[in-house]
Amino acid sequence: MKRTLQILNELEGSGVGGAMGATFYVEPLLTFDLDVFVVLSANVGDLISLAPLYEALRTRGYAEEGECVLVEGVPVQFLPAYNALLEEALREATETLYEEVSTRVVRAEHLVAICLQTGRDKDRERVRIFREQAELDMNYLADVIQRHGLEGKWKQWTP
């Protein structure tokens, strides 16, 4: 994991999200991969492609396996920041230490907002766990929710 994060640190504008990102803030959650959000440059109208990223990793000896790339033994799934919420989440990701390796992790409030936006059953459960266990900055979270139009889902999920 440490070596994996060192390799990922070399990717500009990336941040750990998903279940492993959530695990920074709450109880350990079962996951089989490391979700990493990345900003990929593309001109307006162009398709965003992970191919250059995969190619760069392949040249370093990290092979694809299914929808992941095996980086130092850890399956890593790269997810392009495909909307304003994810771009903001990456911009405001915080630096955290993992065994002396600095790594960028998406803020808990953004992870909650991403769950609201994604909207699956497991996201709902994750929001519940965040509310129960994480130290959320509720003012900051309210701003994020309002900015990205997620008030309805928040009200629906947190009666």
Q: Is 11 in the site for other proteins (CB under 8 A)?
A: no
What values do phi and psi take at 69, rounded to 5? Answer: -115, 130
CA dist., res. 145 & res. 107, Å (int): 13
Q: Is 70 in the site for other proteins (CB under 8 A)?
A: yes
Q: Is 53 in the site for other proteins (CB under 8 A)?
A: no
Instruction: Output the smallest distance, CB 127 to other proteins, in A.
Output: 15
What does the per-residue mask of binding to other proteins show for 13-52, with x meaning CB under 8 A?
Answer: -------x--xxxxxxxxxx--------------------
Scan residues 111-130 and list those touching other proteins (CB under 8 A): none
Q: Is 133 in the site for other proteins (CB under 8 A)?
A: yes
Q: Is 108 in the site for other proteins (CB under 8 A)?
A: no
Q: Long-range pairs for 145-149 at CB < 8 Å and ≥24 separation?
A: 145/113, 145/116, 147/88, 148/84, 148/85, 148/88, 148/113, 148/117
Amino acid making up residue 100? E
Instruction: Output the smallest distance, CB 51 to other proteins, in A.
Output: 24
Which C-beta is closer to other proteins: that of 24 or that of 140?
A: 24
Are residues 19 and 12 in contact, defined by beta-carbon separation less than 8 angstroms? no
Q: Which of 38, 74, 112, 145 binds other proteins (CB under 8 A)?
A: 74
CA dist., res. 152 & res. 34, Å (int): 29
Q: Is 99 in the site for other proteins (CB under 8 A)?
A: yes
Query: Residues in the site for other proteins, rule: CB under 8 A?
Result: 1, 3, 20, 23-32, 70, 72-75, 96, 98-99, 133-134
